Amino acid sequence: MPVIDCMIEPNVVVELSSPVAGVLDTLTVDKSDEIKKGQLVATLKSEVEAVNVKTSVERLKLSDLEHKRSVELYRDKVITLSEKDKSENEKKLYELELQQAKANLNLRQIKSPIDGVVVKRYAMPGEFVETRPILQLAQLDPLKIEVVSPVSNYGKIVKGMHAIITPEFGKYNNLVAEVVVVDKVIDAASGTFGVRLELANKDHAIPGGLKCRVSFIEETVKAEPVADTKVAAAKIVPDLPMPGNDADSDVDSDIDVDSGASGNDTSASKLTAKEEMTSLAAKSKKLVADEALICSSIGPYKNRATLTKVLDELGADLKQKNIRTHTEVKTVYGVLSKEFSSAREASDSIKRMSASGIKDIAITKIEGKNHISFGLFSQQASANNRLAELKKKRYEVMVKPRDIPVNRYWADVTYLPQSTEMLNVIVPGSNRAACSNTIKLSLLEK
């Protein structure tokens, strides 16, 4: 087939605008910056929407408490089933109200729908945007190559076929594109039909907008068993015309001429290599996406239920999450009486102490022996103050330290940068810290 003129274009061009009208607050990218799909590129002023989210969170908390009380009251037959159902319905409505508030806040965070580069900036922070675009984005991997081919090539050019691309400018060697679309309708007036090819451009080294020339590689040979190796060579090696070269010029070929099983092994190895490259590309893409995620540790919380509720409120803003329990040993200080020979003797002593005005006392057993406890304190100074107070009243008391295990609950989470504001609304800064790379890797592996 003869060499045909073509044009290298971006695969996708997006005129990115805001889904809602408002004043542009931030624009985080500039012309020629590379961007990732889902990356936050601009935000609108959103103070009112952030307050609405906080208000909805507080309303839901209050509704949740009221619902729990109504369940207990219904269990005790204080209120009717209708009143309990009404409380439950109000809680669901407040949950929906919170979802709506979050959605309204997210609408003011403008994210890139593609991997690509910034071509143009149409607006600046402080400007009011409504329907006009804010940025023009282009996807450069893969590139799109549009070809108008004579009708005489119809049937020769098929989907999946490969072609050699020679750009008009620049030193680009061994550019091989794949046919992805062949028009089903021929333009009768011009006697042509359209063909679209895709060209891998992982490092964005090839710009869009270049004119080029395309030479299709005819891959019409079918494998047939032959007796003569020389004949086989003549049948297997296809004609690979290079743009601008004569037919008898040297052409490097990847096709090995061999007989029998060795030819099959070569095909198998090429297939394996292709699969391996596809796998590596997928892994690379996942790594880039993972690197964009922010990892935070939320906690500590005294009980697991509170932490679970916080995670439920964050909902879809979290990509991965894992709850872990951290147990620490805490020393507390007990103020105890002397040892009593029996529980009855201790009980009689408590009655006398209560009559004299001493409060917050109870019988306790330490190592199987009866004592009176005058309180358990987290600070030794507080225990010593209680000790001094009782000794003034001539009671035989002592301070006994005890080590007790205390559970604290943490959640390790990952989320996209655009979800940071939502996290700030729901989780106080004192309950949030950046997590280590080890924790982030363990989350991503799940």
Asked if residue 123 and residue 170 are part of one domain, the reply reads: no
- For residue 337, what are the contacts with CB-CB under 8 A and spacing of at least 6? 346, 349, 371, 372, 373, 374, 395, 396, 397
Question: Does 422 lie in the same domain as 325?
Answer: yes
DSSP 154: B
Regarding whether 194 and 234 lie in a shared domain, the answer is yes
Q: How does pLDDT run across 127-164, given as a tens digit for each residue?
A: 999 888 999 999 998 999 999 999 998 988 999 999 99
Quick check: 89 and 108 in contact, CB under 8 A?
no
Determine which of 143-147, 168-172, 187-191 has the lowest per-residue pLDDT on average. 168-172
Specify the pLDDT at position 233: 38
Cα–Cα distance measured from residue 289 to residue 415, given in angstroms and rounded to the nearest whole number: 11
Residue 269 located in a structural domain: no
Cα angle 392-393-395, degrees, rounded to a multiple of 5: 105
Amino acid at 251: V
8-state DSSP, 280: H
281 within some domain: no
Among residues 135, 153, 188, which one ends one of the domains?
A: 135
- Does one domain contain both 209 and 152? yes
CA 309 to each of CA 97, 314, 427: distance values in angstroms, whole numbers, following the listed order: 17, 9, 11
pLDDT band at 282 (very low <50, low <70, confident <90, very high): low
What pLDDT, on the 0 to 100 scale, is given for residue 275?
59
User: Is residue 100 in some structural domain?
Assistant: yes
The pLDDT assigned to 17 comes to: 92
Residues 109 and 164 in one domain: no
Alpha-carbon distance of 430 to 110, in angstroms, equals 29
Do 326 and 446 fall into the same domain?
yes
Task: Please report whether residue 304 resides in a domain.
Answer: yes
Among 162, 200, 217, CA closest to 278: 200
Q: Select from 135, 164, 183 the last residue of a domain.
A: 135
Whether the predicted model's global pTM rises above the 0.85 cut:
no
Is the pLDDT higher at 14 or at 171? Answer: 14
pLDDT at 11: 92
Nearest to 16 by CA among 136, 194, 177, 155: 136
Rounded Cα gap, residues 242 and 269, in angstroms: 26
Q: Does 238 reside within a domain?
A: yes
Contacts of 285 (CB under 8 A, 6+ apart): none
- Does the structure show a pLDDT above 60 at 372? yes
Has residue 325 got a pLDDT over 60?
yes
Same domain, 165 and 128: no
Residue 339 shares a structural domain with residue 389 = yes
Continuous segment of H or E residues that includes residue 195:
strand 192-199
Domain boundary among 244, 278, 295: 244
**377-393 residue pLDDT tens:** 888 898 899 889 888 88
Domain presence at residue 26: yes
Claim to verify: residue 394 and residue 297 sit in the same structural domain: yes
CA atoms of 184 and 193, how far apart (whole Å): 8
In this structure, the answer to whether residues 207 and 297 fall within a common structural domain is: no
The count of structural domains within the chain is 3
* Helix, strand, coil percent content, the chain, rounded in steps of 5: 35, 35, 30
CB 387 within 8 A of CB 377: no
Q: Are residues 174 and 48 part of one domain?
A: no
pLDDT of residue 291: 60
Residue 332, burial from CB neighbour count under 10 angstroms (0-12, 13-18, 19+): middle
Q: What is the CATH number of the domain that holds 214?
A: 2.40.30.170
Same domain, 386 and 408: yes
- In this structure, the number of other CB atoms found within 10 A of the CB of residue 268 comes to 10
Query: Quick one: which of 335, 391, 384 has its CA closest to 364?
Result: 335
Q: Does residue 209 lie in a domain region?
A: yes
Specify whether the CB–CB gap between 254 and 224 falls below 8 A. Answer: no
Average pLDDT over every residue of 17-35: 92
- 27-44 pLDDT, tens digit per residue, is 999 998 999 999 999 999
The residue range of the domain holding 26 is: 11-135
